[in-house]
Amino acid sequence: MNVAITMLTEMTRKKILNGQLEDKWSHLHGTPEGYPFVLYKKDKITVYVNAWKEGITDLSGPIEFIKSLSVEGIKNLEAYQEGYSLVVTYSGPIRFVQSVNGLFEPLFAYLKENGYVGCCGKCGKLMDGTEPVEYYNVNNYGMYLCRSCANRVENELKEHRAEKQAESSNLPMGIIGAVVGALAGGAVWLLIAQLGYIHAISGFIMAFCALYGYERLGGALDKKGIITCIIIMILMVWFANRMTFVIIAYKTLKTHGFTFSEVSKRISEIIKVSELTRTYYGQLAIGYLLTGLGSFGIIIRKAREGTGSYIFKK
């Protein structure tokens, strides 16, 4: 089992399909009963099962069979074919283990009885053929591929990376887009702050808007675009935190004849006189921390997409 980050405890994993699956960062995978199997557990449970039968070009039989099963707690079950994979999705029930076993143990029995065999998900080469079908991690998605298909997928990823790295963004236009996006995120920050909270979702929204704005106006999201967006986000968090205190101070001082502009210009002095310096910088530090936590995932994902970097390994 992957000891870094796993979906399930070891005890739970062993209860699923007789412990024939390995636990990876975002999915389970294995070849229970000889069928390549990959399961993702997010908002919905999504499962890929690779199967092929000589003389049969579709998986309509297994699709109809799994739709006919009645397993307690499963909702919105859908089944369809994608390449040589039977794809099953359903809403996650409380009894996760029972749902997997209840659906796929009967499916494997059906596949065996009807002459289906495990295969490459791309081309249908058999598991027991001359060319081995093995597991590959492709950008944290699990795939069971023969060597020919694995080489083709890796070459496509390399070509895509070369294309992305050849792209160059329009920096001035990208900066405009990122600033506009970050301002939108800053507005959300201020709105949430008025409710008395600093939340990581504000950082996520700010990052998403800044990256989206840069890409839209800059034409691409390359390395300089990512760095530019991070710098703009750092400045925007500082600005949003400062404006939060300006608004708080204005609500108190407007009854004494102070205008918003006057409060904004003298906020540093007001913070010092009010002995709020420690609170101000404490809130700023928390803001940076939560922004980092909220935006880290999307920045990494967008950086990978923008530069064409990829994961491809067994």
Residue 3 lies in a domain: no
Based on the fold, state whether residues 268 and 178 are members of the same structural domain.
Answer: yes
Q: Which residues contact 110 (CB under 8 A, 6 or more apart)?
A: 62, 65
Mean pLDDT of 233-258: 88
Q: How far is CA 312 from the centre of its chain?
A: 17
For the chain, the average pLDDT equals 88
Structural domain count, the chain: 2
Task: Decide: helix, strand or coil at residue 54.
Answer: coil
The predicted structure's pLDDT at residue 302: 85
Q: What percent of the chain has pLDDT over 70?
A: 96
Based on the fold, state whether residues 267 and 158 are members of the same structural domain.
Answer: no
Domain coverage including residue 225: 171-309
Last residue within a domain, chosen from 140, 162, 184: 162
Dihedral angle sign, alpha carbons of residues 202, 207, 210, 213: negative
pLDDT band at 7; cut points 50, 70, 90: low
What is the spatial distance between Cα 70 and Cα 129, in angstroms, rounded to a whole number?
35
Residue 207 lies in a domain: yes
Last residue within a domain, chosen from 162, 179, 197: 162
The predicted structure's pLDDT at residue 2: 36
Name the pTM for this structure. 0.72
Tens of pLDDT, residue by residue over 48-64, are: 999 998 877 789 999 99
**pLDDT at residue 5 tops 70:** no
Domain of 27, CATH number, reads 3.30.1460
Please give the DSSP secondary-structure letter assigned to residue 254.
G
- In this structure, of 33-42, 64-73, 123-132, 202-211, the range with the lowest mean pLDDT score is 123-132
Residue 282 lies in a domain: yes
